[in-house]
Every structure is written in C-alpha cells, then in structure tokens.
C-alpha cells in the first residue's frame, strides 16, 4: 500500500534562493510524523508547497495516490489535506463559529445537521471555543486562536492535518494542551504532519521524525530513536 503522503526530491525556491533542496519523505495513514529543525531549515516552506501555496521548482508530491504538485490549493484542500498555518491567521472580526464554518466552505454537499455535528465535536475538543462561539476571534488569546485554527482545519474532515508551529508563543500549559489534542486526534484516526520548533514535545508525540537543516533532511528515524540521538540532543534538545 502506498503512503498517504509521498514527497520525492522536492525543491522549493524563492527567486534565486533555494529553500528546500531535494527532500524525500513519507507519511503513512494513521501516523504522526514530525519535521524538526531550526528557523530557516525549510519546514514551513515544505508545508506551503504541500498545500499548494508555493509551487515546487522540482520533485513530486503525491497524496492518497494522486500527484498534487501542480494542483491548485483549493483543490488540494478538497482532496482531504488540511493545513493549520504558522501564525494562526484567524479572521479577527468574525465570530469563532463563523471561522469554523469557513473551514467547511468546500463541503458543498454537507447538510447543516452534519456541519452542526462537526461543530459539536470541535467544541467538545476545545470547550473554551464552545463557551465563546459568538465572540470575535480577534479577542481570543494566542492559545485560543491556535485551537480555533486547528478546529477550522478539522471542519473540512481532512485525511491528513498539517500543523505548522502550533506551540509557537504559547505558555507551557497551553502548549501541553495543544500537544495532548494532537495525540487525541491520532487516536481518532487523523493522520498528522507536525512542524514544530519544540523538538522535545514533537518527538515525544511522533511515530517518526525527520530533521531538516539548511533545506535538507539530515536525519530520519522513529521519534523515540531521535530523542536519544546524541546529535539531536545537542542541537535541538539543549543537552550536552
């Protein structure tokens, strides 16, 4: 059986600057896979290429057996690849519920009862959103906006959810909540590709991980093995 997501020799450039330099990786259905690395390693650029927001210069991207590296972003979402972006990007003047319903915009055939059921599941996952569903999204804290961004992506019922730096700028308590939510998503069958600068949290959660440096993959292994890798410990876990 083919991987749910398969990336082969992917190159992504910004003008003359090559940000991603021929990376190859896969995500199997039901896995949590993480990309870890420092700022500028190419993690966010990779996710933007996967979701169609930045066209690759070379290489192939296949999702659920279909090549998508030349597919428009809105069609990629329709195929079941969700993206919760770095920086959250919620619609500040719209309510929480309006933001969530936007996440299901492409589900044209969905009945209102089905959307309401998905809203209820999101509110059960993030009770604070349910309590404030008519509140403007811009009034939420950073952690609450991250919950909203994740919930919005889940409203499209993705087969694979890409999370870009979900813990960035959050308190330790809120970061733990977000990571616990990712673990719960895996239990419900959602496949997750996690980009995260907090390597310790990401690798503890991940089935497998890839370490990016300078736009290249320099290490790949199970999350457990990368946690005890001496090079990873020195470079990303603050251990000598």
Q: What is the pLDDT along the chain (240 residues), one digit of tens a residue?
A: 789 999 999 999 999 999 999 999 999 999 999 999 988 899 999 999 999 999 999 999 999 999 999 999 999 999 999 988 887 789 999 999 999 999 988 787 778 899 999 999 999 989 999 999 999 999 998 888 988 998 999 999 999 999 998 888 778 888 888 889 889 888 888 999 999 888 999 999 999 999 999 999 999 999 999 999 999 998 887 665
The predicted model scores a pTM of 0.90
**Residues 178, 146: contact at Cβ < 8 Å?**
yes
| Residue 89 DSSP label | -
Q: Topology of 5-236 in CATH? A: Rossmann fold (3.40.50)
CB-based burial label for 100 (10 Å; 0-12, 13-18, 19+): buried
Q: Between β-strands 17-27 and 58-63, what pairing exists: parallel, antiparallel or unpaired?
A: unpaired
């Amino acid at each position: 059986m083919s991987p749910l997501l398969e990336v082969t020799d992917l190159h992504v450039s910004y003008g003359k600057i090559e940000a991603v330099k021929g990376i190859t990786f896969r995500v199997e259905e039901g896995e949590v896979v993480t990309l870890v690395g420092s700022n500028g390693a190419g993690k966010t650029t990779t996710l933007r290429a996967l979701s169609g927001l930045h066209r690759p210069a070379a290489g192939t991207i296949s999702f659920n057996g279909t090549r998508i590296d030349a597919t428009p972003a809105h069609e990629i979402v329709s195929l079941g690849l969700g993206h919760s972006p770095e920086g959250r990007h919620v619609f500040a003047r719209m309510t929480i519920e309006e933001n969530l319903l936007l996440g299901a915009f492409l589900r044209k055939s969905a009945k209102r009862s089905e959307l309401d059921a998905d809203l209820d599941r999101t509110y059960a996952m993030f009770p604070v959103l349910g309590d404030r569903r008519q509140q403007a999204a811009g009034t939420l804290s950073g952690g609450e906006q991250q919950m909203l961004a994740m919930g919005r992506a889940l409203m499209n019922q993705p087969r694979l959810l890409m999370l870009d730096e979900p813990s960035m700028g959050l308190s330790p308590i809120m970061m733990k909540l977000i990571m616990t939510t990712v673990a719960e998503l895996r239990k419900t069958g959602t496949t997750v590709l996690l980009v995260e600068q907090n390597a310790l949290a990401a690798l503890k959660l991940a089935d497998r991980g890839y370490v990016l440096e300078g736009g290249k993959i320099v290490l790949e292994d199970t999350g457990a093995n990368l946690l005890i890798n001496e090079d990873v410990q020195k470079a990303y876990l603050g251990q000598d």
